[in-house]
Structure formats: C-alpha cells, structure tokens
Structure 1
Amino acid sequence: MQTNARFGCHQQIVTIDDIFFSYENKPVISGLNFSILERDFVGLVGSNGAGKTTLLKMIVGLLKPVRGEIRLFGQPIDQFRDWERVGYVPQKNALNPLFPATVREVVTSGLFGKKNMFRRLSKQERSKADDALYAMRIEDLADRRIGQLSGGQQQRVFLARALINNPELLILDEPTVGIDAETQAGFFRMIRHMHQHHHITFIMVTHDMDMIQSYLGEDSVQKSGGLSFYVKHTHEPENCRETDLTHSMQQLRETIEV
C-alpha cells in the first residue's frame, strides 16, 4: 500500500492496494497503488482503454479486481455497506434514452438501497429530493421523462441523484461528454465550488486537460500504466464551511448557468 507524508491525520477515503484487473485475460490495470484523502479532488486521465472507467466501477463495487484490495473509508469494499456516503455519476452513454422514468424518479432513486427499493418515501426524503432538484435548477423538469432532456439537463439530473444523500465521496465519469462548452464551464464552476466549500472528496474522469491543469496543477502526482492522477488537496478547516449540502443550496444553485 502506498504511503505518503501528505496523509497526516486526514482520513483515507479510498485506498487502492496492489490492484490487478483483466478483461478476457487482457491486462487493463496492473499493480495499481493509490490513496485518496478526505476532501481531495482527483482528476483521472488516460487514453481510451487505459482503465479509467474500470477503476471507477471497482471503487463503487460494480467490478471486482482479479487481485488486490480496495477499501472505502477504511473498510474492505466487500464489507462496505454505507453506500449513501458515496455518490456516483456514470458516463452519459450508460443511459437508455427509452428508460421510462421521470426526472423526479431518477433523482429519488438515489435514496434507495437494495433493501429498501420499494418502500414509500418519507416527508423528509421528498424534501431532500426537492432540494436536490432545486440546487441543480431542474425543478421545472421534475415530471419530464429523462430521455427527453438535453445532455446538459441529463447530467444535472444524475448529479442531483448523486448528491441527494449529501455524499462524502462523489465519483464522476466523464460528466461533460456531449455537453456544449458554455454548460461545461458552468458545470466546472459548480464542482469547484463544491470542492472548496463542502466536505466532499471528488474523483473525476475527464479528457478536458485545460480544466484538469487549471484547477489541479500542471503535473500529475502519479502515473500507472496508461493512467495519470492529478490531485488538489483542500484540507484546511476554514475552507470547508458547509457540512450539510442542504444548508447552502442557494449558493450552489447560483454557481450554475441557467
């Protein structure tokens, strides 16, 4: 396992310990070690086929490594149960445009674990959904079918779904693919605000090197195979004014372009 003086007293949110993964005996990730601290912003860059999405899927438990271990919040991933602490926005092309769900249904699905998928929402949970819709400026789209929305609108829906539980770890897989440049700029302003002012750790896959280097620095902190890791640390308590995302929904909303 990687050790680094930067760890200090800060909690390791994700620990990747000697991970190997292959598709049909073709190695994709080999011997990867990396640790992500609370309130890090990690930009993950690599060519197609380098293993970016594969790594994210292993971190959220959708794939299992051939060898090695991943820990979330100090727990081995196969024992981890607190999934409400993790928000995940997959690639846009993972959406079936014919999926018969409204925006509100997609957002509220972020509240459901495997054991409570079919229970009724409480008043507090409906309020959390309203807050997330409001923050992403999509409250007027609540009753629209998700497949009827533009790419930028869909990404706001999936981000609202990921944020509804006020996660401590937010994982974004190429969140701006297929979105126009103006909407991309608004999206990046929003997530920078979230990183600077909320207690959230970020992992983001993107091909936008200008965004990565402007916010995370010119140089990667680590390379492994075809993967490059860029990291910005925001550990100072005075930079983290909000512990509950719902306390500053108006601030968050104002960072998004209409």
Structure 2
Amino acid sequence: MQQSTRPAGEHCHLPVVSMQNVSFQYEQRTVIDRLNFDILQRDFVGLIGSNGAGKTTLLKMIVGLLKPDQGEVRLFGTPLPQFRDWERIGYVPQKNAFNPLFPATVREVVLSGLYGRKKLFKRINRDDLKKCDDALHALRIEELADRRIGRLSGGQQQRVFLARALVNSPELLILDEPTVGIDSETQESFFHMIRHMHQRHNITFLMVSHDLDMMNAYLGYEPAHASGKLKFFVKHSHELDNCAETNLAHSLRDLRLADEPEPLTAR
C-alpha cells in the first residue's frame, strides 16, 4: 500500500479527516476494507476509482450518513459520533440524491447552507442575504432565485447545490461529482474557482470526479495513497496568508466578473 507524502510544516500536520481501519460492507460485499488515511489541513484530495469502488460510500461515512462496520472516522480531531460542528463542512452530494419534489425555492436552498444542524431556526439577516446573493451571482443562477428547485434542469440544480455548499465559507468542502450535467465552460470556471479557494484560503477539499483531465492537471498523475480500488491524489497548499480577504464572497464575485457573461441555459 502506497503511503501518502506531504511537505513538512506546522500547518501540514493538522488532520481534518482521519480514517483508521475503516471498513464497510454492502449486501455482504466488502466495499471498503481497512482504510487508513488522513486528510490534512489545506489538502486538496481527488478521489478516483471505478464504479462500485466505494467513493460515494466513503463520502457518506465522512458526513455521517453511513456508519462504518469497523474502524473510526474523526472530523477535526473529534470522533464522528460526537462531532457537532457541521457548519464547518460543505457537502455537495451526487445529483441523483436529490428529491425533485422538495418544496423550496433556489434562494431558500442556498440560504440553508448558512445554518448548521444546531442553527436551523436562526433568523436571516442582511449579511446572510448578501452572502446568498454573491453565491447565486457567482454560479450564474441569480435569475432562478425565486423558482422552485424541483422545476429546474439537472445542471441548474447542481449549480444551486454548489452555491449552497460555498455560501458559508466552509473549512472542509466535500464534492461528489460536482460538475455532472454542467456545460464544459462552466466546469472550467468552477475548477478555476476551487483552485483559487484551495491556493489562497484555509479550505480543505475532498472531491470525486470523473473528469480525469481536470483532476490530473491540478493534482498530478501519481496517487499519494491507494486502498483497494480507491486512489487518493493529493495536492497541498502552504500559503495561509496570501489572500487579504477571508470571506469567500469576494472570490466568487471576482471570478464571475472575470468571465464573459453568458445567458443561463438549461442542461
């Protein structure tokens, strides 16, 4: 089993996600077998594997939607059953995990990303609305703000969930096939945006994607770690203080302004 290698440094050794001897079976078939891997602060981890390799299963265990059959998952040093600071994590599930009958507008879905599980009834203030507007604008969905999300195309829905995950400036951003159903130009803009966030903000990324060209171009061609059919490609970012802005809203606005405006089309 290949061991991960990362540069030394004070900030390189702070674990955000720790997986110790993690195993999971589905219908008596072992999907993940004794996985040991740490995702450290400022890592960008690309998770690649064939269909059925356990990619989505692993992400669901990390966000508490599935429980490992064996082993332990820790978030920010806290065992998963005791972890409560869910506002520190942004999560975009696969598009097909969404119930199209969910009765909420696009604005309501994006605003829900500002509240952790402890703050479901927090009153919306002006700052919250500004963050929401910035995220809507950055993902080119401001014209859809008052529409029911279930009436949108698949590509439009995925943009909404990306905006929801980014709106709260998370410390850990977990993305499961985030660009499926989105046109190639918007995919490139999205990868440009998350590269900026990784390089200049204190954010850790874990992403599953079938776009190997985009992943390899940023993360390289050699995995830092392998377990079964899962391969972990890792790039570490050192510069903790090279962006004067601490809120992600500026990067979302600036990247949108840098792009040529285009009409919003259904995909």
Same structural fold, with TM-score higher than 0.5 when normalized by the shorter chain? yes
Deviation at 1:240, TM superposition (A): 4.6
Give the aligned partner of residue 135 of structure 2. Answer: 132
Most deviating of 125-134 and 223-232: 125-134
- Give the direction of change, closer, same or farther, for the CA distance of 1:107–1:5 in structure 2 (3 Å limit): closer
Structure 2 residue 34 is matched with structure 1 residue 9: no
CA contact (8 A) 1:38 1:235 kept: no
Most deviating of 117-126 and 215-224: 117-126
Give the aligned partner of residue 155 of structure 1. Answer: 158
- 1:237 alignment partner, SS class: coil
Give the aligned partner of residue 61 of structure 1. Answer: 64
Structure 2 residue 112 is matched with structure 1 residue 112: no
CA contact (8 A) 2:59 2:174 kept: yes
CA distance in 2, matches of 1:158, 1:126: 16
1:139-182 per-position Cα deviation (integer Å, ceiling 9, x unaligned): 22110121232333222211111112110100000111222322
Deviation at 1:119, TM superposition (A): 4.7
Structural RMSD (CA): 2.1
Q: Structure 2 length as normaliser, TM-score?
A: 0.88
Percent identity between matched residues is 67
- 2:140 alignment partner, SS class: coil
Give the aligned partner of residue 80 of structure 2. Answer: 77
CA distance in 2, matches of 1:75, 1:97: 34
CA distance in 2, matches of 1:45, 1:3: 15
CA distance in 2, matches of 1:5, 1:193: 20
> Where does 1:23-102 land on structure 2 (aligned, <5 Å)?
23-102=26-105
CA contact (8 A) 1:190 1:255 kept: no
Give the aligned partner of residue 184 of structure 2. Answer: 181
Letter paired with 2:57? T
Letter paired with 1:226? K
- Give the direction of change, closer, same or farther, for the CA distance of 1:164–1:31 in structure 2 (3 Å limit): same
How many matched pairs? 257
Unaligned runs of 5+ in 2: 263-267
Give the aligned partner of residue 146 of structure 2. Answer: 143
CA contact (8 A) 2:92 2:174 kept: yes
Unaligned runs of 5+ in 1: none
Most deviating of 234-243 and 219-228: 234-243
